[in-house]
Amino acid sequence: MSDWIAIDWGTSNLRVWLVSESGEVRDHRLSDKGMGQLEPAGFEPALNALIDDWLSEGEVTQAVACGMVGARKGWIEAPYAAVPCKPEQTDGVQAPVTDPRLSVTILPGLSQITPSANVMRGEETQIAGYLAANPRFDGVICMPGTHTKWVNVSAGKVDSFQTCMTGELFALLSKQSVLRHSLSGDGWSDDAFDAALSECLTRPASFGARLFELRAADLLQGQAAADAKARLSGMLIGLELASAKAYWLGQQVVLIGDARLSALYQKGLGAQGMAATLADATAMTLAGLGAAYKYQTGGTE
């Protein structure tokens, strides 16, 4: 049986795994050649630099890729699959590979028109990975990150989803806004996080009024940066939980994402009486690429 290559190619990073037909990871590598810094002609060399010695003359090794590599400004566009759909059973696009030893299928992201326009690219593969191990799961998957996704899953399909720009807002406000003067430095306050999350979840309008207070409390009262940072994070996640209430209230919620960030969401949901479970993001990506590989190569589930 031949090995295949799993590729997770996001905006900032490229990760590859050499996987046996039985699913065993034989090797894995990482580079910083994310899609964000590459022109179309740069993708194949960036990939080859990592996997050249995994390829064999006279054989074609199959690879499956997910993530921003398939965006309009990526290697080649893999048009979105519309929900509802099974996230691992979508039509991939062949990348324009010149190396005769390699064939790369790029998986599409998912799109939604109603009730409102939305897209994801990369997260659908993590969902597929979770469903591969939990085929009867019926509930909500939340993927915290730069653009957090809230996803309704039922009968093996993604039914609908919502995006919150919570991570990007945190980065913009803490690094580029006037608040940056009051947020630099390490440290963290659980109490400040909890209080801010609770207030913005209960009264989301207060977000508008409370934001500048992070600066004023520093100027007037010398508020510690650790407190301010935890308050900002709590405010943003509180506003997000308020906006995603229809997703998590009374639902079984699984969190897939950075462990520290997911723990914050788990804490916030826990304060509302919701016990969310955590799943490892890298493991879900790899399992999802495996499920897609099976589907792309004609295997059955």
Show the site string, 27-66: x = touches its own copies by CB under 8 A, - = not. Answer: ----------------------------------------
- Contact call for residue 198 and its own copies (CB under 8 A): no
Is the Cβ of residue 49 or residue 178 nearer to its own copies in the bound state? 178
- Contact call for residue 165 and its own copies (CB under 8 A): yes
Closest approach, Cβ 239 to its own copies, in A, equals 5
- Contact call for residue 210 and its own copies (CB under 8 A): yes
Q: Which of 107, 101, 94, 20 has the alpha carbon at shortest distance from 68? A: 107
- Contact call for residue 118 and its own copies (CB under 8 A): yes
Is the Cβ of residue 3 or residue 199 nearer to its own copies in the bound state? 199
- Contact call for residue 207 and its own copies (CB under 8 A): yes
Work out which of 30, 49, 172, 259 binds its own copies, going by CB under 8 A: 172
74-93 binders of its own copies (CB under 8 A): 80
- Contact call for residue 266 and its own copies (CB under 8 A): no
Cα radius of gyration rounded to whole Å, the chain: 21
Work out which of 46, 128, 244, 261 binds its own copies, going by CB under 8 A: 244
Could you tell me if 5 and 61 are in contact, meaning their C-beta atoms sit under 8 angstroms apart? yes
| Buried-exposed string 247-267: b where 16+ CB fall within 10 A, e elsewhere | bbeebebbbbbeeebbbbbbb
Show the site string, 131-150: x = touches its own copies by CB under 8 A, - = not. Answer: ----------------x---
Closest approach, Cβ 243 to its own copies, in A, equals 3
Is the Cβ of residue 176 or residue 300 nearer to its own copies in the bound state? 176
Chain residues that interact with its own copies, rule: CB under 8 A? 72, 80, 111-113, 116-119, 147, 162-166, 168-169, 172-173, 176-178, 204-213, 215-217, 219-221, 223, 239-240, 242-245
